[in-house]
Amino acid sequence: MRAVYGIVVRELVRFLRQRGRVLASIGRPFVWLIFAGAGYAAVFAGRNEIDYRVYMAPGLLGMVVMFGALLAALSTVTDRDAGVLRMVLVAPIRRGTIALGKALGATVLGTTQAVVVAALLLPLVHLRPSIAGALLAAVAVVLSSLAMGALGLALAASIRSLENFAGVMNFVVFPMLFLSGALYPVRHLGPVLRLVAYVNPLAYGVDLLKHALLGAWASAGYGGEMSSWLDIAALVGFAVVGLVAAAPLLAREGGVTRTAFRQRV
Amino acid sequence: MTAAAIEARGLGKDFGTIRALEQLDLDVRAGEFFGLLGPNGAGKTTTVHLLATLLAPTRGTARVVGHDVVRDDLAVRRAIGLVFQETTLDRDLTVQENLRFAGRLWNLPGPLAVPRIEGLVRQFGLLERRDDPVRTLSGGMRRAADLARGMLHEPRVLFLDEPTAGLDPRARRSLWELIGRLRQASGLTVFLTTHYVEEAEPCDRVAVMDHGRLVALGTPAELKRTTGVTSLEEVFLARTGHALGETGAG
């Protein structure tokens, strides 16, 4: 498992060296809190029962996890472009080990960022979770990071170039965010969109975070909308699917010569 | 030492309808300095990737230090070092960090890896630059760092796929000095692919490849004598009907 450790360490070192990425990941939720928060708070139906900025807090943590883990998965695309993936592929380790290392790297990054943001955000909106709530929130953050990292990895491994990835980010990230319950309850959506929300891993992560942090508002209808066990099972399921899908896709890099041939012919 | 480091039997690879490698039969002895000479697109890189388990063969078999490349791919990868045409180092990490990363990928415990990295960095003239990000290194130094990465786990067979591509003559010379020293020190088998005749000249044996086929095999002296010419360049011309510089079809 030394290889997994090595892959995780490399992800961390790379992340910490990119100062812009660190600042963006910590600053982004506060930009949403200020701008989206201010606007939505005025029109939010539940304004008498819950401050919209409190309602947003679990969703913003989910967003931090999503960006943190997906951007970590993005590094697989740059690894491929830069050739680093080949160093990993010629090492005596299984493809599944590579996928696991990458996904765990994304988990560590997503979780760390969410913890840092939570430490700043929750006091700011005067949200003080119980100990049980904080523990459940930690479980939610770790499992969501793992699920998002694994799925992002499968996505990144199946994509050839960075340009494609940017497109996917736009067509995946924003729908995923809006259909996650981060900004408004999923139950207010129409049946079709609600169906889409149910195949959205972020929706389960955000839902579990609501269970953890918005328990006091559950009776008013602003807590989790699904069972926490369902949330946990779904996140684990997404993580397994992502890892199983990513491993063979990563091995396709072996086809470097194939690409070289196509270019030449 | 006559044990085979590499044995290929009818080894071939197709990419769709393109036959990148027809049917290769080849034996490379342990400790041998073996050169695969041919133009771009001859099938050299395909051969290396098949032997290094990065590609699955379409037909035939191959064994590297006794391990089958399909059934025993992990054992093969453990026994070989591979330096690619382009660098595989992480440009944002330092030389030292890259080597530490490689050490973990090859499952070397820290107490083993650290002194070994120290030794390689010193031997390869990277001591002063080891804490610099790889992207700040010259092409020659980057190549030396790549080679250090390939040698870290003390492989028995080292594959060098066009190792001097893009290097200036001085960097080329110092790379060859390094490789020469490594061979002397460890009895390492070196499998080199190149399209430069002068790089194939010092090899113990040279295989000439064109259009995915082996067209000649022997010591440089034998090849010249049997072809009745004085240079490997002419050997290539005589055996293929075209000059080495002219790229064979894809």
Q: For B88-128, write each residue's pLDDT tens digit.
A: 999 999 999 999 999 999 999 999 999 999 999 998 889 99
Any idea which of A137-146, A243-252, B32-41 has the lowest mean pLDDT?
Answer: A243-252
**Contact: A262, B15; criterion CB under 8 Å:** yes
CA distance B12 to chain A (A): 14
Sign of the Cα torsion A124, A126, A128, A129 reads negative
138-157 in chain B: CB under 8 A from chain A? 149
What mean pLDDT is predicted for residues A171-194?
Answer: 87
Per-residue pLDDT of B45-71, as tens digits, reads 999 999 999 999 999 999 999 999 999
Distance from CA of A92 to the nearest CA of B (A): 5
Q: What is the pLDDT of residue A170?
A: 78
Report whether pLDDT(A113) > 90: yes
Given a cut of 90, is residue A122 above it in pLDDT? yes
- pLDDT for B156: 94
3-state SS record for B193-231: EECCHHHHCCCCEEEEEECCEEEEEECHHHHHHHHCCCC
Q: At what angle do helices B169-186 and B139-151 cross, to 10 degrees?
A: 20
- Residue A156 pLDDT greater than 90, yes or no: no
Share of chain B above pLDDT 90, in %: 70
Instruction: Please give the pLDDT value at position A189.
Output: 84
Whole-angstrom distance, CA of residue A118 vs CA of residue A68: 14
**Prediction ipTM score:** 0.88
Helix A201-213, helix A52-82: angle, nearest 10: 140
Interface contact flag, A82 B45, Cβ < 8 Å: no
Q: A7 to chain B: nearest residue by CA? A: B101
For residue B154, give the 3-state DSSP assignment. coil
Chain B: residue nearest A250 by CA? B54
> Which tens digit of pLDDT belongs to each residue from B93-103?
999 999 999 99
pLDDT of amino acid A252: 66
pLDDT digits 0-9 by tens, A27-43:
999 999 988 888 887 77
| List of residues 6+ apart from B9 with CB closer than 8 A | B25, B60, B61, B62
Interface of B with A in 66-95 (CB under 8 A): 74-75, 77-78, 82, 84, 86-93
pLDDT given at position A258? 43
HSE-CB of B239 using CA atoms within 13 angstroms: 25
Cβ–Cβ pairs < 8 A, chains A and B: 92
Q: Is B138 helix (H, G, I), strand (E, B) or coil?
A: coil
- Going along chain B from its start, the domains and CATH numbers come out as 4-88+156-240 (3.40.50.300)
Residue of chain A whose alpha carbon sits nearest to that of B73: A92
Q: Which of B76, B90, B156 to mutate to test the interface with A (most CBs of A within 10 A)?
A: B90
- On the question of pLDDT at B2 being above 70, the answer is no
Which pLDDT band, with edges at 50, 70 and 90, does A256 fall under? Answer: very low
Confidence (pLDDT) at B106: 96
pLDDT of residue A223: 84
